[in-house]
Amino acid sequence: MSKKIKQAKNKASNPINTPIAKSNKWVGLAIALIAFLIYANTLAHDYCLDDFSAIKENRFVKQGLSSTSTLVTTHYRAGYWNSKGTLYRPLSLVMFAGEWGLAPDNAKLSHFVNVLFFAWTGWLLFQFLSLLLDKKYFGLVFLVSLIFVTHPIHTEVVANIKSRDEIMAFFLGLAGLYYFVKFYDHRKILSLILSILFYTLALFSKESAITWLAIYPLTILFFRKANFSKVAVWSALFVVPTAVFLLIRHNILGTIASVKPDIVDNFFTTAEDITSGQYYGSALYMVFEYFKALVLPFNLVSEKGYNQIPLMGLGSFGAIFAILVILASTFIIFRALRQKSDLLKIIAYGLLLFGISFSIYSNLIVEIGSSYAERFLYMPSLGFAMIVGTGLFWLAQKLGKGKNISFSNPAIIIGLAISLLFSVLTINRNKAWYDSATLYATDVLKSPNSAKLNYHHGLEIGKKGNKLKGNAQINQYKEALSFFQKAIKINPKYSDAYGQVGLYYYRLKDYDNALKNYLIATKLKPNANAYSNMGIIYFQRGDLKNAEKVYKLALKYEPSFIDAYRNLGAVYGSTKRYKLAIEQFKKGLTYDPNNKILKQYLASAQKDLRNQQASGQ
């Protein structure tokens, strides 16, 4: 066979065009640029949702990097509340502290970092898949990477600064996997060290990164001719940083008691018990909801909690659909293990990647604090992208009939069209994440029976009322009150909602109804804000004994409550117990050293104490 004939044969066997292959090194950068551009409209956004507890109202984060030692030795929300925490994710908090130090109270910088790391993730994903698969699958690598970065399901993760924990856990875990594959290919110890390092950092980003522990060996076994025992030995090295992380986490958080999630966060708690058909029926139904969000991401919503979706039985359509999908996936995986089809193997790997990474969020294995959140699909969506991308690549091969796969191939055009549609949907959905008020106003229309969304929408309406005057303010407060009352109608045991009803009755000068609702709120659940607000009414009525009592209760349940320290100190000052007043003001200043009002009250109490001592009282 002549040299020219050999070259022609090799070219025909390659399922991609030579020009595309030559531009391979630039494609990863193009994927990153696309990822950056579709989230560019979030760069001017404000803080939203949990950004307040993680950044804006987190006293440790606002101390900048000087608080690093505190951030790595306390639970995730220690800088926001003093209650016992159940989360340990120090890496994102340290990043937030550094950003606050560079640009205090500037959400734009943190949004830029989120978008930057997401774009970098797109580039890394392309590099990883290019390393993992043969060059003949270049088109598949391109499709998978493009579908992943453009999918609208990522809007919560990228547009909400707090979800840096998700971004870093995925980015670092993927980096670790990249270097683990490189180590297995070339046996360079540096690659193994980098792999372990990145995996460890992923764990300190978010606990769910522990699922990489199963994905690392699985990847080698699927895509390399590897001996199981050798893979097991090398993979066992990752158990060491896992154990170290879990030990550190335990020492910081202590033993975490099993606490049933609040009904507004996870409606499964209304099931009679975890073994009931309703519990698993509802959990499986939510798997169906997640499936819809991935396949048809046209109506994304941040919250589908109680009682937007009622409890479902095992016989519901969604539950049955989820069971069938699980059974079909299992069949495909076992079939892929028995056959030598590369594409079927990639699909099976995508199914396993999805199942492993999503398992801890499904509520099927363990009950978690939320029944639904789009961010839970961030890492699992890579499995979905691999399945869709592989399916399109298979179709491209069939339609190409042995010819080179080019951008004119109908299947590739379909893939590009899907990514374009996803990009448009992403850019549009990003707008809802501008700030909390925008998000709740948008999503309460999509999930009108969610007690949580009605409650938070009421909060944002009330905040706007604080900036108004006269009848405009009264009408705004009444509108806020209506949403809190709707939240209570949906969930009659919603303590926080009763507390807000009390607050807005107070602002509308209906003090009797305010006190009535505060009492209901505190009977349902200890509520520091409600206790403190009750104290204000008691103080105004001259009932200092009850005012003192409820302010102490507020501090019992929220020891960092600045207003309660100030008001309790005022009660002590009003009864001429100036030493006790000074003590409360000083305690408040330990949490907020620059609080001007506390400083003024402290100076006044110290002056009153001196006068009292001088007069011999």
pLDDT per residue over 221-249, tens digit each?
999 988 889 899 999 999 999 999 999 99
Rounded CA-CA distance 123/120 in Å is 5
User: Once rounded to an integer, what is the mean pLDDT over residues 282-302?
Assistant: 95
Mean pLDDT of 399-415: 82
pLDDT at 113 (0 to 100): 98
Helix or strand run (H / E) with residue 189: helix 189-205
pLDDT single digits (tens) 319-345: 999 999 999 999 999 999 888 889 999
CA 422/CA 445 separation, integer angstroms = 22
Entry pTM: 0.89
Residue 289: how many CA atoms within 13 Å on its side-chain side?
24
**Residue 256 pLDDT:** 67
Give the per-residue pLDDT at 401.
73
Contact between residue 358 and residue 376 where contact means Cβ atoms under 8 Å apart: yes
More confident residue, 275 or 385: 385
> What is the pLDDT of the chain when averaged over all its residues?
91
The pLDDT assigned to 258 comes to: 61
Of 13, 212, 45, 17, give the one whose Cα is nearest residue 112: 45
Give the pLDDT confidence score for residue 435 in this predicted structure: 96
Rounded distance between C-alpha atoms, residue 357 and residue 376, angstroms: 9
**Beta-carbon contacts of residue 92 (< 8 Å; ≥ 6 apart):** 54, 162, 164, 165, 168, 205, 206
Mean pLDDT of the 11-34 span: 62
CA 488, CA 567: separation in Å to the nearest integer?
A: 29
Dist. CA 20–CA 408, nearest whole Å: 13
CA distance 66 to 551: 32
Name the token pair of 429. 């959905």
Give residue 81's pLDDT. 80
Whole-number pLDDT of residue 225: 87
Whether 21 shows a pLDDT value over 60: the answer reads no
Helix ranges restricted to H, 14-106: 18-22, 24-38, 51, 68-71, 90-102
Give the mean pLDDT of 443-464.
Answer: 96
ω into 307 cis (within 30 of 0): yes
Percent of the chain with pLDDT over 70: 94
- Mean of pLDDT values over 114-138: 94
Structure confidence at residue 85 (pLDDT): 82
Using left for φ > 0, alpha for ψ between -120 and 50, and beta otherwise, residue 64 falls in left
Q: What is the mean pLDDT of residues 523-544?
A: 92
Percent of the chain past pLDDT 90, that is, above it, reads: 76
Residue 405 three-state SS: strand
Determine the pLDDT at residue 274. 59
What is d(CA 158, CA 178) in angstroms, rounded to the nearest whole number? Answer: 22
Q: Which amino acid is at 394?
A: W
Please say whether the dihedral angle defined by the alpha carbons of residues 178, 180, 185 and 187, taken in this order, is positive or negative.
positive
CB 314 within 8 Å of CB 180: no
| Pick from 3-12, 247-256, 563-572, 595-604: least confident | 3-12
User: Over the stretch 509-523, which tens digit does the pLDDT of each residue have?
Assistant: 999 999 999 999 999
- Lowest-confidence pick of 422-426, 471-475, 609-613: 609-613
